[in-house]
Every structure is written in structure tokens, then in C-alpha cells.
Chain A
């Protein structure tokens, strides 16, 4: 259960990124967050992973109040999340295998298990043959798939994905979304920020539309998404 209550975020520059946000997301839900560039989608995800602090209001994730969490517990909290970033955030000085394995090392998975899990995961995202490559030797889409592999490998409680398909062609994007749906089917809460109308339409899931730091529409899955196209 994720509860976002009366959250306001004003950046130092005086940028009102989030004006007032109230969102509830149940366990195991699959939610799209859409909206214009600059509407505060990434800021919302960053607050959920405690990279950015809300100016006011509070966020509760699976019973933990993020604003009351002591700093030293932040790493532990983040290990329960899977995160896919707009800019991938891969470790440039490590190869693909190491990038994915690193996430497992962080949570203390025994090396023997890592050796089994990582190739399996890389196979799932279709990068088995390139495990020795470094991030700068991969295309944007391939890097994004590495990032997804890294986010999924620890079976997170919540998966936060900021434009996971932004750099992928249609077929690749569909494959990734299928992967996310699969992970969601296993019980992981999935929150995906996207600009792609096609993906939103094809998945028939809950869609939260943001504009200027506020929720302007929140449609349950199955509803016809005649959301304001001008906001995508």
C-alpha cells in the first residue's frame, strides 16, 4: 500500500514541482503515470524512493512513513524497491553482468546464487550474449533493458519505472511491458511513468494523469482512456 497525502514539493529554485498530491496505490496494482513534460512525474518517483524529500505532506510505503525514516535505514528501504531511471543510471566502469550482479551483492545474495540468477535475468531481457559489454557499448534500448534487469532481479515489493520504454522500438517496448506485467502478476506493485499513448492503451491498467504538479485524472483499468491527449 502506497499512500501519498497532501504532498507538496517546491525545489530550492522556487520551482513548484508538486502542488498538492493525494494518491493511494494498493498492493499489487499496476499504475501508469502520464502527463506533460515538467508535470512532476519524475519528482513523484524520486520522492517515493526517498531521493527527494517532500516540502510538506507525507508518504507511507507498505506501512513505513518515509518522512520519519532515519537516514541509516534508507539503504535498506531502497533494497525493497526496483528502480528504472529515465537516464538508466548504469555503472559505467562495470560490465552488464556486474551491473546486474551488483544489485544482488547489495542485498547480500550468496555468490553462487548470483551466478545463477544474473544470466537468467539477462536472458529474460534478451541480453545474454552481451553480458561482457560495458554500458557505453550498448544502444539506449539495450541499456534500458540492463536497467530493468537490475531492477527486477531482487524481486522488489514495488517497481518504479521512469519511462522504461522511452528509448525502445515498439516491439522491444511491448516485450518490456510484458515483463513488467509478469512481475506485477507475481505480486509486485508496478508504477510506470510513460509518454506512450499506445502502451497505455494496450495495457488497460490504472492511469493517473498529472499536470502542473497535480492529478488531473485517475482512471481505473478497463475504462476507455479518452484522457486529454493534449496532456501526453
Chain B
């Protein structure tokens, strides 16, 4: 009875841990991808010469936030545009050959050291003379930092609460089991069994409870996460563009080993320590 409740609570606790772990790992991953793949793009006023733009570029490069900068000349922009939109139909682009339609599209792609510095960087860029437009994805980036923190706090609170409940339930289970086998324990003691011999079975029981409480949610997570990766893969793989590159879910293999190790340690650890101290208190010799 109690043992079922204990396993269920530890399972719930560890399942939530797995859930939050997955979410946080993925948010981190997305943030990381965002930092490395989403940069800030600066476009310049019409009629600025390449020399002027490059000079401005040197000035921007002095900023401490900048990790990396790529200059994309109007010609390069046009070429990559052609490659993307006229793939297989190069003759269509021929018409523009002499007259680059993206003549004023020279730009700098700027990658930042830390995504949280984006706002300062963007306002700096906007204040510069000659800058026509600054492209950046504000919501996505700003959201990550906050979301990550929120999920982190939420998970700590909920897991903490569930942990307390599981400690209580395991303790109760062991307590009841010990009371049930009280005469048995007394007999063992009379025959000369040491505390260790009498307590060991209870601690084993606690560890088994903890182990079961870890394996069940790990199995569930394994299956569910696999499903989700499949689903998201099908759903978003078609959508090209920025989101497709960023909204990539971590493969299960990337996070499962760590998650499993922590979950097992958590389950077995709780089972061991709670039963150990409960039985110590209960079976004073």
C-alpha cells in the first residue's frame, strides 16, 4: 500500500525532473543555437561607398560585445540570393546580370559573445550615422533568458515539494514494514543478529523503492521524448527559414545519459538515506 504510494511519488518527482531537465536542456540548446546562428544584421544607407561601409565596420568591430563579423558585399548578397531562389533556373537570373538589384544591400552580419547583450548592441548600431536598418529577432532572444530562469525556479520548487512528499512516504513505508516485522526483528536480535543484519533488509527495500521510482519515469521519458522528437521533426522540418534552424529539438541521446544518471542517483539516494535513517530511529538496540 504505502510502498505503491512511495514508488508513485518518487516516480512523479523524477518524471518531473526529467521533464524540466529536457525543457531546460532544450531551451539552453536553442539559446546556444540562437547565439551562434542568429546574428544582428546591419544595412547601410543608399549611396554609401564600400570604403565608407568598411570604415564603419572597423568602428563596430571595436565594440566589446562583438564576437565575429562578416562583411557581405552587395555582390555576395545577390549571389546567395540567386542560389537560394533561382536554384536550377539560373537563366532567370541572367536578366539582372548587369544591374544588381541588391546594389545597396551590403551588410554586416554580427555575432555577439552573449545574446543578452543584444539590446545594447542594437541601440548602439541604430545610433550610428549611415545605418539604414538593423535586423534582429528581439522576442526570441529576450524570451530565452527569462524562460530559462522561470523554468529553473519552477522546477526547483515543484521537485523540492515532491521530494519532501516522497521522503515522507518512504519513511512511512519503512516504518510500517518495521512495525509489521517487529517480532521477527526482536527474535533476530535475541539470536545475536547485529543491527546491520536486522536493518539491511529494510534499507534494501528502500533502495528498491527508489530504484523503481527512478526506472519507471525514465522509461516513460524515453518513450515520450522519442515520440516528441519524431513529431516535431515531422511538423517543422518542412518550414524553412530562421525557425527551422533554431527550433531543433535535442536528440534523446544528447541528454538521456546525464538525465538517467541523475535520476537514478536521486531515486536510489532518497531510498537509501530515508530508509537508513528511518530504520535507525525505529530499531534502536
User: How would you classify the secondary structure of chain B's contact residues: helix, strand, loop or mixed?
Assistant: helix
Interface residue? A90 (CB, 8 A): yes
Q: With contacts A74-B285, A91-B184 known, is A106 near B190, CB below 8 A?
A: no
Please tell me if the beta carbons of A102 and B191 are within 8 angstroms of each other in the complex.
Answer: yes
Checking A75, A89, A92 against B192 with a beta-carbon cut-off of 8 angstroms, the contacting residue is: A75
Q: With contacts A71-B285, A106-B197 known, is A91 near B187, CB below 8 A?
A: yes
Checking B181, B192, B195, B197 against A76 with a beta-carbon cut-off of 8 angstroms, the contacting residue is: B192
* Interface set, chain A 179-209, CB cutoff 8 A to B: none
**Complex contacts, A58 vs chain B, CB 8 Å:** none
Number of chain A residues whose Cβ lies closer than 8 Å to a Cβ of chain B: 22
Q: In whole angstroms, how far apart are the Cα atoms of A60 and B78 in the complex?
A: 104
CB of B229 to closest CB in A, whole Å: 47
Checking A71, A81, A93, A106 against B193 with a beta-carbon cut-off of 8 angstroms, the contacting residue is: A106
Checking A71, A76, A106 against B191 with a beta-carbon cut-off of 8 angstroms, the contacting residue is: A106
Please tell me if the beta carbons of B190 and A49 are within 8 angstroms of each other in the complex.
Answer: yes
Number of chain B residues whose Cβ lies closer than 8 Å to a Cβ of chain A: 15
Please tell me if the beta carbons of B190 and A51 are within 8 angstroms of each other in the complex.
Answer: yes
Checking B184, B190, B193, B285 against A92 with a beta-carbon cut-off of 8 angstroms, the contacting residue is: B184
Q: In whole angstroms, how far apart are the Cα atoms of A106 and B187 in the complex?
A: 12
Q: Can you list 30 contacts pairing A with B, beta carbon distance less than 8 Å?
A: A49-B190, A51-B190, A71-B285, A74-B285, A75-B192, A75-B285, A76-B192, A77-B192, A78-B190, A78-B191, A78-B192, A79-B192, A83-B190, A83-B191, A85-B190, A89-B183, A89-B186, A89-B187, A89-B190, A90-B187, A91-B187, A92-B183, A92-B184, A93-B184, A102-B188, A102-B191, A103-B192, A106-B192, A106-B193, A150-B191
- Beyond the given pairs A75-B189, A89-B186, 15 more chain A to chain B contacts, judged by CB atoms under 8 angstroms and listed by A's residue number, are A49-B190, A75-B193, A75-B194, A75-B285, A77-B192, A78-B189, A78-B192, A79-B192, A89-B183, A89-B187, A91-B184, A92-B184, A93-B184, A103-B192, A107-B192
- A-contacting residues of B (Cβ < 8 Å)? 181, 183-184, 186-195, 197, 285
- B-contacting residues of A (Cβ < 8 Å)? 49, 51, 71, 74-79, 81, 83, 85, 89-93, 102-103, 106-107, 150
